[in-house]
Structure 1
Amino acid sequence: MDFRRLKYYCHNSLILVTSGDRQILSAIAEVLTSEKYNFITETSGEKAWEIILQKKPAIVIADWAIPDVSGLVLCHRSKSNLEHPELMAIYFVLIVEDSNSQQRQIGLDTGVDEFLNKPIDGSELKARLRTGIRLTALTKSLTWANQRLLAQNDLLDALGLSDSLTKVLSEQTFADVMPKMMQQLKGFGTYKNYSFLSVLIIDIDLFKAIVDSYGKKIGNEAINAIAGRLSHSCMPNSLIYRHGLDEFVCVTPHSDTTSGKQLSLNLLTSIRSHPIAVSSGLLFPLTISIGGVITALDNQNQQIPDISFEELVSLAEQLLFQSQQSGGDRDYLEIFE
């Protein structure tokens, strides 16, 4: 994680410390103050629970032996609260007796994330806090990323840009958008240090035999699974499109031709590495064939003519046919530098 973002979390994440022992509160508060953490201390377990509900701290440090509501009960309320599921993400540190292994076992069963021994050791506390901040920051980042991804998928569905089965971009979007995108990229030359564009057409080897033997439903599940693998294995700036029944197109800008060739190998490996699983329990050891073109966005070589979008796709399809005729599970690439 980015250091600046982690530093931001350290100073802006709320920490709740609750114990009936004021000496424990004082010892912990001293460390938190020296490390410039944002924190609240509370001697009452019930009041601590009200703070958890209202302020939703990132970390709770709670004593096992709070007179009214113990730290263990606070942890259980947080980790099992269906009305406020966001409380389950709180990093919960339980203060226990150093020699009491039974407290630790019960705490783990309840959902405690970490333990802090009595008497409080400053170095141990700092280590627990660093771990807690890192994990809560990572959880928030993953949650935000997932929300953005869901919002993006919803937008693509709303605009009719995604394929209804695989949720990658649709074949119609590829035909409508890609020619304009290619012209724009060429117009910018080395836009964002991207000097090349790869267009890889991907076909599932022997896919018709699966549909003939197991039916359309199983075939759709296999296509969907392969779309997921391709999406996870491509580069962050790649765009994956559906292209016909059992074909996909991966379009990616590159800084050099080497990364384009490596991307093609990565996609091949992602499918052959382990079988495709479907809901019926069947496993299909599938492979793919790839035909692709890697072309310079700003063509300085006068001996190589500019390739139109239609010519580029046609050439990639011819190379795909060669790959299939050679037995599949391989790629044929043409590079224009």
Structure 2
Amino acid sequence: MILVTSGDRQVLSAISEVLKSEKYNFITETSGEKAWEIILQKKPAIVIADWTIPDVSGLALCHRSKSNLEHPDLMSIYFVLIVKDSNSQQRQIGLDTGVDEFLNNPIDSSELKARLRTALRLTALTQSLTWANQRLLAQNELLDALSLSDSLTKVLSAQAFATVMPKMMQQLKGFVAYKSYRFLSVLIIDIDLFKSIVDSYGEKIGDEAINAIAGRLSNSCMANSLIYRHGLDEFVCVTPHGDTASGIQLSLNLLTSIRSHPIAISSGLLFPLTISIGGVVTALEDQNQRIPDLSFDELVSLAEQSLLQAQKSGGDRDYIEVFE
């Protein structure tokens, strides 16, 4: 769509005749302020603006478009400024402002048609480059997503846990005002006696067992949980909660999901496996300053200490430390 704006109705009429004859889709406007509203709402591909619009000049409209940080998509509008044929100073100022092309006044139909053809070619090229760039960004995002997924279990990877999770702490604290998530649980899950399976049956069977357990954990965790691979036979489950009781209950649910029935392997083997869980449940925000302000690394360290307590107690159990 093309927007033509000028306070001179003869200029508007001359340009309109050419646009009609060439079957362009266009809008005309005599007010600079109203033209700006059209630019914001409709985002025309091409704007033909007169230097001498009484309220807001074409030069000002160009400056607003090309330097608008709130609406960066306006920067790609192809801006044609109507200037006096002999006024070189207007052209220099226009170039400094970001004008893409100039159109002499009085209007010459052949010159206008040539300017429009150039504008259409360049806007088409810009759109093509934008589309190609969007595809490239999408591909890069896909590659990033793949790198954050564990290749064996398809849960989030150890790399994601180490690099992404610490940065999410501030976002998780924002959950206090969103859906009333006031607490966070960090549960570290270890497969009991897993080394004996690998030693007896080999790494392939071990990988199948890990994959099966990852599936059960994913199916048994909460909808807002994040499950990460954490070393060879460990996982981490990070979940925001409305209260501490749901964090403790989640740990019990995960224990039950593994011990409830044996892990089936493709070869027909059945392994009655169990897990140990060490965790911490803490308030995301402490209004009364009764608990320490723990970093994510400190939460993980506490969860690891809790896991050692669960393992020392014989496994197939959890040990959860609560801060509230």
TM interval, short-chain normalised: 0.5 to 0.7
Structure 2 residue runs without a partner (length 5+): 1-140
Aligned to 1:268: 255
Deviation at 1:191, TM superposition (A): 2.5
Distance 1:324 1:304 in 2: 27
Q: Is the 8 A contact 2:175 2:182 kept in 1?
A: no
Deviation at 1:308, TM superposition (A): 0.7
Aligned to 2:321: 334
1:258 and 2:245 correspond: yes
Do the aligned partners of residues 158 and 183 (structure 1) sit closer, same or farther apart at CA in structure 2, a change above 3 Å counting?
closer
Q: 2:149 aligns with which of 159, 162, 168?
A: 162
Deviation at 1:158, TM superposition (A): 4.8
Amino acid at match of 1:249: V
Aligned to 2:233: 246
- TM-score normalised over the length of structure 2: 0.55
Aligned to 1:59: none
Deviation at 1:183, TM superposition (A): 1.9
Distance 2:285 2:145 in 1: 35
Amino acid at match of 2:152: L
Amino acid at match of 1:170: S
Amino acid at match of 2:195: K
1:309 and 2:309 correspond: no
Deviation at 1:185, TM superposition (A): 1.8
Distance 2:162 2:306 in 1: 19
Distance 1:222 1:156 in 2: 27
Deviation at 1:306, TM superposition (A): 0.5
Encode CA deviations 1:218-250: one digit per residue, 9 max, x unaligned: 000000000000000001111100000000000
Q: Is the 8 A contact 2:213 2:258 kept in 1?
A: yes
Structure 1 residue runs without a partner (length 5+): 1-153
Aligned to 2:284: 297
Q: Is the 8 A contact 1:291 1:316 kept in 2?
A: yes
Q: How many aligned residue pairs are there?
A: 184
Q: Is the 8 A contact 2:175 2:181 kept in 1?
A: no
Deviation at 1:156, TM superposition (A): 7.5
Distance 1:174 1:293 in 2: 16
- TM-score normalised over the length of structure 1: 0.53
Amino acid at match of 2:199: D
Question: Which structure 1 residue ranges, 4+ long, deviate > 4 Å from structure 2?
Answer: 154-158
RMSD: 1.5
Distance 1:186 1:246 in 2: 29
Larger radius of gyration: 2
Distance 2:239 2:152 in 1: 22
Encode CA deviations 1:167-212: one digit per residue, 9 max, x unaligned: 0000010111111111222245332210111110000000000000
Encode CA deviations 1:236-269: one digit per residue, 9 max, x unaligned: 1111000000000001110111111110000000
